[in-house]
Amino acid sequence: MLQAGKAVKVSIYLSEGATHHGVSTSSSILDFLFFRGVSGATVLKGIAGFGADHHLHSSSLVAISDHLPLKIEFIETRAKVDEILGKLEEMAGSGMIELQETTIAKPSQVSKHKKVGTPDHVKIEGKAQLMRIYIGEHDQWQDKPLHESLVHAMRANDLAGVTVYRGILGYGAHRRMHKDAALHLSHDSSIMLSVIDTEEKLRAFLPIVEQMVDEGLVVLSDVDIIKYAYRGHGDDESNVPEEKGVQS
């Protein structure tokens, strides 16, 4: 972690389309800085500019250039900069690197949101229920996609988490075949929403599902949570399972 005092600000100027070993140069440099323990870095994108080739690049609604200027900035100690500068020069290629002496008046600090006594990890095991909702991709609720509206409704009602799946082949009550392929795009692919929570909370949410879903299938299944662990975040004290793969 950086300390107050003398430091060096490094600015790396690149073209958006530049690559390093077949990968975006900005991404490669950012990964390198991350894994070499640099305290933090920011990638800034320009909307117009020109470089050593003296070609003007600009972004507009009519024509969007893929060679707009990029700048990567980070602040580190002189020792750390000297350690990684050679590799940065290699990765930057035809780009420019600027070093500027600076002074850190106040270093950034890691946010501390967790309450005293809140564990780093929470583990849950035991009985729960799985709700699956099968609808059509083009189903609407109040002029919005039904699956999106259901996700918002679940979040508003504090359900643990939901995952939305898009079907690639199947048929429903009307026995029409729906298929998703390169040369055959279904007009109404199937959508499945899957959520795991306590029976009490899912049963309480069912009236909302019945109100929103005019045509579809809703099923509830008993499940055993063998292992569910997540890292606690601050004031979030929820203790119900969220389906693996869903971001909170």
Is 172 inside a domain boundary? yes
Domain count, the chain: 2
What CATH number should be reported for the domain holding residue 197? Answer: 3.30.70.120
Last residue of a domain, one of 72, 104, 136: 104
Is 242 inside a domain boundary? no
Residues 125 and 227 in one domain: yes
pLDDT digits (tens, 9 = 90+) for 82-106: 999 999 999 999 899 999 999 999 8
- For the record, the structure tokens of 209 come out as 């599902």
Residues 74 and 9 in one domain: yes
| CA atoms of 42 and 226, how far apart (whole Å) | 40
pLDDT digits (tens, 9 = 90+) for 140-199: 998 899 999 999 999 888 888 899 998 877 665 565 655 555 444 445 678 999 999 889
Residues 178 and 151 in one domain: yes
Give the domain range for residue 141: 121-231
Residues 130 and 220 in one domain: yes
Q: Classify the phi-psi angles of 180: left when phi > 0, otherwise alpha if psi is within -120 to 50, otherwise beta.
A: beta
Residues 136 and 200 in one domain: yes
Note the pTM of the prediction, 2 decimals. Answer: 0.46
